[in-house]
Amino acid sequence: MNPSVNISRYQRLDGTVLKLIACLSMFIDHLGAVCFSGMMGFRIIGRLAFPIYCFLLVEGAVHTHDMKKYILRMGIFALISEVPFDLAFYHRLVYTEHQNVFFTLGLGLLAIWFLEHPIEHLDIPDVLYKLLVIIAAGLIAEFFNTDYGFTGIAVICVFYYLREQPQLKYPIAAILLAAMGGVEVYAVLALIPILLYNGRRGRQTKVMQYGFYIFYPAHLLLLAVLYHLFVL
């Protein structure tokens, strides 16, 4: 990033707006995947969602008053979302070979927790400990084949560990996202709205807060219904 370019005047997007962008992008992506599999434009637009969710997850982790409840909430919605996820993408009630993105986000939160709360009896250098935490979370994500797997965990940890170093955070995140290859290369574009974030949470009631969580399984159920009505 060129330090002579002042982007602060363009930072008009608060957390609520970013969430809306991510939700819309995700819906378009999943609509394309489930109902219009041959139309790549849907999938390209959808690449904005995951990096924004990772970024907002870290913002939530930094500002939450109760990290344990945050992790628990993510885990509960991961479980709630699994059947809708399987119905939408695999057209069956249970499909154990691929897990929804809430599991990835939940593992990312667990990694952040262990980064902040080192295991006391491990007599190893701090840098090595942090690296082992990230690798362990990433390997668990790969083992259970969660959405975005190891790369997803790595992006979350980069956003967290380098949150005060944008000159490193964004280039490294861009490299990780681009390294996934294929259509995932377009996920780098998500850094544009993220860079326009103004650091404010935005207007958000309890209904809105849980609405963003509920949107994920709800839209997957809707897509499963649309698939069986119009595509099958």
pLDDT band at 6 (very low <50, low <70, confident <90, very high): low
C-alpha to C-alpha distances, 111 to 82, 114, 148, 208, nearest whole angstrom = 21, 5, 15, 26
pLDDT band at 7 (very low <50, low <70, confident <90, very high): low
- Please say whether the beta carbons of 215 and 53 come within 8 A: no
How do residues 16-60 score in pLDDT, each as one tens digit?
A: 999 999 999 999 999 999 999 879 999 999 999 999 999 999 999
Q: For 217-229, what is the mean pLDDT?
A: 96
Name the residue among 70, 169, 69, 61 with its Cα closest to residue 115: 61
Closest Cα to residue 111, out of 66, 145, 141? 141
With CA atoms as reference, report the closest residue to 101 among 66, 60, 59, 152.
Answer: 152
**DSSP H stretches of helix in 91-125:** 101-116
Give 167's pLDDT tier (boundaries 50, 70, 90). very high
Give 1's pLDDT tier (boundaries 50, 70, 90).
very low
Lowest mean pLDDT among 30-34, 120-124, 165-169, 171-175: 120-124
Check pLDDT > 80 for residue 103.
yes
CB atoms inside a 10 Å sphere around CB 44: 18
In the prediction, which pLDDT does 44 show? 97
User: 121 or 151: which carries more pLDDT confidence?
Assistant: 151
Confidence of residue 204 (pLDDT cuts 50, 70, 90): confident
Mean pLDDT for all residues in the chain: 93
176 in Cβ contact with 154 (< 8 Å): yes
pLDDT at 10 over 90: no
**Cross-strand pairs, 197:** 13
Quick one: tokens of 210?
């849980």
